[in-house]
Amino acid sequence: MTSESVQIDTPQSAASAQQFTQLFSATRRGARLARLLAVEQLAAWGWPRDGARTDAAALVVAELAANAAVHGRLEGRGFRLGLALLPTGRLRIEVTDPRADRDLPAVPREAGEGGRGLIIVEALALDWGVDPCPPSGKTVWAEVRAVTTGARRQALSV
Ligand SMILES: Nc1ncnc2c1ncn2[C@@H]1O[C@H](COP(=O)(O)OP(=O)(O)OP(=O)(O)O)[C@@H](O)[C@H]1O
Ligand SMILES: [Mg+2]
């Protein structure tokens, strides 16, 4: 991919549907962009920029996006970030990369053995996992607590 990000799905109703999907290049810069745009999208949905839940969601996006760019990378392919507000009061974060090998550690390794990204995800997420994404690739997903409607209204009125 030559461009850093390619918008593939931003329907007019995105704000009301509270879903967001975007494709990024599989680079460190693409991963940083994914984190930045996730925070922008959450702010557009009324999440306070400096809130603990926003920070947690941004950190999970950053770690999953970095993993997609480093470990899930395939030449010429990007990764996709998806955000969705669920009726369960959770934010679902999905990062889809083109590598079908789904052998991520189910239980993160001890700190100090190298990886810390999935330890952070395990600590911040209510749940997370890996699903196949046919015809090739996989989706690493995590769900975190969403900002409540009341707090969103308050943030938007500031
Ligand atoms: N998207 C992915 N595709 C394939 N393998 C992955 C993916 N994400 C994680 N892994 C595997 O799981 C391991 C643990 O990931 P984790 O993010 O915890 O650590 P890390 O990426 O190696 O290091 P750090 O996140 O501290 O920079 C990785 O080293 C890699 O082997
Ligand atoms: Mg990592």
Question: What are the tens digits of pLDDT across the range 14-35?
Answer: 445 699 999 999 999 999 999 9
Give the count of domains, the chain: 1
Residue 67: pLDDT band with limits 50, 70, 90: very high
What strands lie across the sheet with 79-85, from one edge to the other? 5-9, 19-24, 79-85, 90-97, 138-145, 127-132
Ligand 1 atom 3: the closest Cα is on which residue? 72
Q: Are 31 and 62 in contact (CB under 8 A)?
A: yes
Domain of residue 57, residue span: 14-157
In the reported structure, the alpha carbon of residue 119 is separated from the centroid of ligand 2 by a whole-number distance in angstroms of: 9
Structure tokens at 104: 């991520």
Ligand 1 atom 24: the closest Cα is on which residue? 115
Residue 52 belongs to domain with CATH number? 3.30.565.10
* Residue 135 buriedness (CB in 10 A; 0-12 / 13-18 / 19+): exposed
In the reported structure, the alpha carbon of residue 136 is separated from the centroid of ligand 1 by a whole-number distance in angstroms of: 19
Ligand 1 atom 20: the closest Cα is on which residue? 115
User: Does residue 73 fall inside a structural domain?
Assistant: yes
The pLDDT of residue 5 is above 90 = no
